[in-house]
Amino acid sequence: MDHEQAFELLPGYLDQELSLSEALEFERHLAGCEQCQRECERHRQVSARLRQADLRVEAPAELVKRVKASLPGRPTPWQRLVERFGWRSGDGAVQWAPLGAMAISLIALSWSAGLYLSVPSGETRFTQELVDNHIRSLQFDHLSDVISTDRHTVKPWFDGKLDFAPPVVDLAQQGYPLVGGRLDYLNGRPVAVMVYRYKLHPINLYVWPGNDAGAAPRVYQQRGYHLAHWSAAGMNYWAITDAGDAELNGFVTDLRAHPAS
């Protein structure tokens, strides 16, 4: 990747809009290019200034009042019924649509409601993305960007690549040795991934900051994989593996009991 390509990708990288492959290629270029590092830092400083509170202007109360007054009010249930199945004649009387047209409209409404209910929830979409990410890391042999069993090697590797410091724990004595780490993307944001193993089963542990003060682990199964989710000390944790339910529970228990976690 040359400077011209890097400059084109820089806004998308800062806004977390690049694909995983584009982001990784950009970061490889950025690591060895001082000019691009300076440009990236300049963009970050500009973004930080734009987010400062003193640049915000509060609208006058009178303007807010006029805007709210100009907004259309919510129609009553009776008004919505007339709009869909009837109309008003010249003398103001309500005229209703024929029974057949009303039946067709009701069928259309039911079909639309069915489509809406069939759309997966936000959490379902996220767990699907998580499973897809885990499978992709196995298929393309991208489990680790840094390969090491030493947490003092893995933890510093994340410095400068993330806006937070992920906790890295060694659980080799508990039967879950650390084998490496990598930078990845979930739900549009960069996350730290620590890679562990239980015998021949890899365990991907995804970590990023969260607002939840602390939530107990929840373990469940999806598409043949076991997942665990919890939060602690301002961090979100998701673990996924093809090992069994008991093995994942043991990993989560040992990890949460470790003083560094």
Q: Give pLDDT tens digits for 16-70.
A: 777 666 777 888 888 888 888 888 888 877 777 766 656 666 778 888 788 877 8
Is residue 105 in some structural domain? yes
102 and 18 together in one domain: no
Look-up of token digits 């994942």: 248
Distance CA 33, CA 1 (A): 11
Separation of alpha carbons 217 and 201, rounded Å: 20
Q: 171 and 112 in one domain? A: no
Q: What is the pLDDT of residue 116?
A: 47
Yes or no: say if 248 and 228 are a contact pair by the CB < 8 Å rule.
yes
Same domain, 101 and 177: no
Instruction: Assess if residue 187 is contained within a domain.
Output: yes
Which residues in the chain come in under a pLDDT of 70?
19-21, 50-57, 73-123, 140-142, 211-215, 260-261
* CATH assignment of the domain containing 185: 3.30.200.100
- Boundary residue ending a domain (119, 140, 168): 119
Residue 64 lies in a domain: no
Same domain, 200 and 129: yes
Assess contact for 183 and 143: CB atoms under 8 A. Answer: no
**Helix 77-85, helix 99-118: angle, nearest 10:** 120
Q: Are residues 237 and 127 in the same domain?
A: yes
| Mean of pLDDT over the chain | 77
Element (H, E) at 235: strand 235-241
Domain limits for position 101: 79-119
Burial call 56-86: b when 16+ CB within 10 Å, e when fewer: eeeeeeeeeeeeeeeeeeeeeeeeeebeebe
Closest CA to 97 of 105, 148, 201: 105
Q: How many domains does the chain have?
A: 3
What's the sign of the alpha-carbon dihedral 138, 141, 144, 149? positive
Final residue of a structural domain among 99, 119, 139: 119
In angstroms, what is the C-alpha Rg of the chain? 26
From CA 233, how far away is CA 211, in angstroms rounded?
Answer: 9
Q: Closest by alpha carbon to 187, among 21, 20, 29?
A: 20
- Note whether residue 20 is domain-resident: yes
Q: Clarify whether residues 105 and 133 are in a common domain.
A: no
Instruction: State whether 170 and 251 are in the same domain.
Output: yes
Indicate whether 90 and 143 sit together in one domain.
no
Beta bridge partners of 197: 202
**Are 28 and 88 in the same domain?**
no
Question: Is there a domain that residue 43 lies in?
Answer: yes
Domain assignment present for residue 74? The answer is no
How far CA 131 is from CA of 30, 186, 203, in Å, comes to 29, 11, 12
- For residues 92 and 186, membership in a common domain is answered with no
Question: Is 61 contained in some domain?
Answer: no
CA 229 vs CA 59, 241, 248: distances in Å: 42, 12, 11
Q: Say whether both 48 and 136 belong to one domain.
A: no
Measured in degrees and rounded to the nearest 5, phi and psi for residue 187 equal 55, 35
Clarify whether residues 112 and 173 are in a common domain. no
Look at residue 98 and tell me if it is in a domain. yes
Q: Is 43 exposed, middle or buried (0-12, 13-18, 19+ CB in 10 A)?
A: middle
